[in-house]
Structure 1
Amino acid sequence: MNDWIIRLIEAGGYWGILALMALENIFPPIPSELIMGLGGVAVARGSMTFWPLLLVGTVGSTFGNYCWFLLGDRFGYARLHPFVVRWGRWLTMEWHDVEQATAFFRRHGQWVVFAMRFSPFMRTMISLPAGLAHMKHWRFLVFTFAGAAVWNTLLIHGGRLVARYLAGFGSALGWAMAGLTGLFVAWYLWRVITWKPRE
C-alpha cells in the first residue's frame, strides 16, 4: 500500500505536485499537508529532491490563491455574491464566510495574507477579501509566495521525518496515508450532502 501511494505522487513528478497544489487552493478536498508531506516522503526515498519540490509546490500554491484573489479583484462584491450563492455547496462556503474573512482582513491588515498561509482553514479564504480590497497584485503574490514557501518547507521536512522514523512500518504508513485521504474526501462529501446555507 505504501509503495502504491508514493508512486502516485512520483508518477506525476514535479508537474503533478504543481497541479495538485494549485487545485488544493482552488477546489477542495485534497489538503496541502498530504500532498507536500508525501512529497517529503519521496525526497526521503531519493525519487525527488528538496529544492525543486519546494519551488513547484510553492508556485502551485501561489497560483491557486491568485485565482481566488483575481476573482475578488475583478468581480467585486456585487457580482461575487450570486457566484458564491450558486456554487457555495461545491466550494463548501457561503456568503457569511466571505463577510467574516473580509472583516478579519480589514481588522488585521495585509500582513494576514502571509500569516494565514499557516492556517488550514483561512489560507485560501483570505485571498478573496484581499482581492475585494484591491490589494496590490505584486504585494499579494510576494506575501503568498513567502508564506507558502515557509509552510511547504515544514511539510516537506515533516514528510521526511515520518519516512525516516516509520521506515520499518511501510505498510502501516501506507494505510495511514490512505486513511487520511479517505477522511478528507469523506469530510468534503459530507459537507456537500449536508450543505444548508444560512438564511
Structure 2
Amino acid sequence: MLAHPTDIVSSLSYLGIFLLIFLLPAPQEIVLPLAGFLAAQGKLNFIGAVAAGVVGSTVGALPWYWAGRYFGEARLLRWAERDRRWIKLSIRDVRKAQKWFDASGSRAILLSQFIPIVRTLIAVPAGISRMNLGLFLLCLIVSAIIWQGLLAYAGYLLGGQYGQVNQYANSIRVGVLVLIGFAIVWFVKRRG
C-alpha cells in the first residue's frame, strides 16, 4: 500500500501529484519540491508536474466554492458546528476566511495559495459572496502557478535535498506576502 507522498508521486507520477493535492490534500510544500526533484532527475516533466499540482488544487477548491455558493454562510456555519469531524471545517475557519475575503476580494484569492489552510478555505467565502466563477478560477490558477512553480523549482535546484524546501517555504511565503503587501499599499496610495 502506498502511504507516503514520495511513494505516491514516484509510483503514480502526475496522477499522484494531482491526487495528493486534490484528494488528501497533502501539503504542497512537500509534494511540489518532490516533483521538482523528480523533474531534475528526468523522471517527470517540470511543467507537467506543476500543471498537475495546479489542476489538483483548482479542482479541490471547486467543491468548497460551490458549497459556499449553494449553502450560504449560515448553513455552512451550522454544518461546521455540527459535523466538524466530517468536513474538517470550523466556525472560526469560515469566519476568518470570510473576513479576509470581505476585506481583500480577489486579492485574497491571489494570496491564498501562499498560506496552507487558507488555500482551501478561501473558496468558501468566494462562493458565499457569489464571486464570478471565471474570476475566481483565474485568480486561483495564477496564484497556484506562482507558488507551486516556486516550490517545484526549489526542489529542482536542491536536488536530493528537496526535503529542506519545507524549512525555507515559510521564509519564502513571508517574503512574498510582504512584497505583495507593499505593492498593494503602494497601489492604494497611488490611487488615493
Distance 1:91 1:11 in 2: 29
* Corresponding residue SS for 1:111: helix
Q: Could you report, residue by residue, the CA deviation over 1:11-43 in whole angstroms, capped at 9, with x for unpaired residues?
A: 111112111111245xxxx21111111111111
Instruction: Tell me whether 1:154 sits opposite 2:122 in the alignment.
Output: no
Question: What's the RMSD between the two structures over aligned residues?
Answer: 2.4
Match of 2:41 in 1: 45
> C-alpha separation between the residues in 2 aligned to 1:87 and 1:149?
33
Aligned runs of 1:75-154 on 2, under 5 Å? 75-154=71-150
| Residues 24 and 64, structure 1, Cα contact 8 Å, conserved in 2 | no
CA gap of 1:5–1:60, structure 2 versus 1, over 3 A, is: closer
Cα drift, residue 90 of structure 1: 4.9
**Structure 1-normalised TM-score?**
0.73
Aligned partner of 2:31: which letter?
A: I
Residue segments in structure 2 that go unaligned for 5+ positions in a row: 168-192
Greater than 6 Å deviation, 4+ residue runs: none
* Aligned-partner residue type, residue 21 of structure 1: I
C-alpha distance in 2 between matches for 1:118 and 1:146: 12
Structure 1 spans left out of the alignment, 5+ residues: 168-172, 181-199
SS at match of 1:120: coil
Q: How many residues align?
A: 163
Aligned residue number for residue 18 of structure 1 = 18
Q: Scaled by the length of structure 2, what TM-score is found?
A: 0.76
Residue type at the aligned position of 1:62: T
Higher relative contact order (CA 8 A, sep 6+): 1
Gap change, CA 1:162 and 1:131, over 3 Å in 2: same
C-alpha change, 1:19 and 1:6, in structure 2 (3 Å) is closer
The residue that corresponds to 2:9 in the other structure is: 9
Sort the Cα spacing of 1:44 and 1:6 in 2 relative to 1 into closer, same or farther, 3 A: farther
State the shift of 1:7 in Å. Answer: 4.6
Counterpart CA distance in 2 for 1:94 and 1:53 is: 32
Decide whether the 8 Å contact of 1:84 with 1:94 is kept in 2: yes
* Deviation sequence 1:127-168 (CA, Å, 0-9, x none): 11111111011110111011001111001011112215x49x
Q: Aligned equivalents of 2:44 and 2:53: distance in 1?
A: 12
